Amino acid sequence: MKRASTSSLALDKVFDAVNYGLLILLSLSILLPILNVLALAFNVGTDAAKGGIYFWPRQFTLGNFKEVFTQSNVVNGFMISLFRTLLGTVLSVLLTALAAYALKSRTLPGHKQLTFLFFFTMLFNGGLIPYYIVLKNLSLTNSIWVYILPALYSVWNIMIMRSFFQQTPAGLEEAARIDGCSDFGIFFRILLPVSKPVFAAIGLFNAVGHWNDWFTGAFYVRNSDLKPLSTVLQEMLTRQQALAKALANATNPLQMQMVDKIQVTGTSLKMATIIIVITPILIVYPLLQKYFAQGVMIGSIKE
């Protein structure tokens, strides 16, 4: 018995060592690239172009970030992104939850057919050109609502919420109905308080999608005052890289003088842009993280 216990203890130690080693390697594979991006973002661009910048800036500067914020439309783009992210996320989560609650009800007439029609849209879509024509006919192009209305529903999110609602104990709804609750009362008073994990997850998915979306602003909006931050930064980065490439091939003395005065390169500007875009998400994520694994249903009802 002692020999078996000693062998089992040794295997446990080996497993723990391998497990911790793999977790450390995984953490480093995530952390080190972020540190490299930070170092390049806070380093002088022309100095970073020489190489040798890994996890700490060699010539510290805030010039890369100043270059980003000197653009007049950056602040306006930030407000557009903030507006679409907040309003779009709240409306999308609420409407998605209402649709999922309806679809999970077996008393809904034709709920199987409706579920199939919803699922069918996950497999097939009309394509980019028909989608643009639909947006144009609905007068959504070149409008701030093009960011919000088409993204209100995601069938994938509806299916996730529907599955979560189906796992809630039936006794909760039955007890509420006995007490005289309507469907809306059950949804807002019973399901919402016990569904924080799935609401946090779907809300985070929507918020990240809205905040990082540059495609919609680039292809469906022409008014520069309506373009979100991601689109503004993407266009600015494209212009900066084109300028840097043109100046790299400079031959006359005046162009050479301009090259010598430039401290910001396309790479350094790109790294600063990455930091600006991901910082709000990094701030919000820890606030929602606890809900992902929180077992709020435990002890909510006794069968």
| Whether the predicted pLDDT of 255 surpasses 60 | no
CB 199 within 8 A of CB 48: no
Rg over CA atoms, the chain: 26
Which one has a higher pLDDT value, 132 or 267?
132
d(CA 231, CA 98): 31
> pLDDT-derived band of residue 300, with 50, 70 and 90 as boundaries?
very low
| Whether the predicted pLDDT of 106 surpasses 80 | no
Structural domains of the chain ordered from first start: 64-292 (1.10.3720.10)
pLDDT of residue 303: 44
pLDDT tens, residue by residue, 63-90: 888 877 877 778 888 889 999 999 999 9
DSSP H or E stretch at residue 273: helix 266-292
Residue with tokens 């998400």: 281
Q: Rounded to whole angstroms, what are the CA distances from 218 to 135, 230, 235, 266, 278?
A: 14, 9, 8, 20, 19
d(CA 222, CA 240): 20
Three-class DSSP category at 144: helix
pLDDT tens, residue by residue, 117-138: 888 888 877 788 888 898 989 9
- Reduce the secondary structure of 201-252 to three states and give it as a string: HHHHHHHHHHHHCCHHHHHHCCCHHHCCHHHHHHHHHHHHHHHHHHHHCCCC
Nearest 5 degrees, angle CA 253-CA 255-CA 257? 70
pLDDT of residue 302: 44
Q: Which residues of 173-184 are buried (b: 16+ CB within 10 A; e: fewer)?
A: beebeeeebeee
Q: How much is the average pLDDT of 229-242?
A: 78
Residue with tokens 């450390």: 24
| Whether the predicted pLDDT of 296 surpasses 80 | no
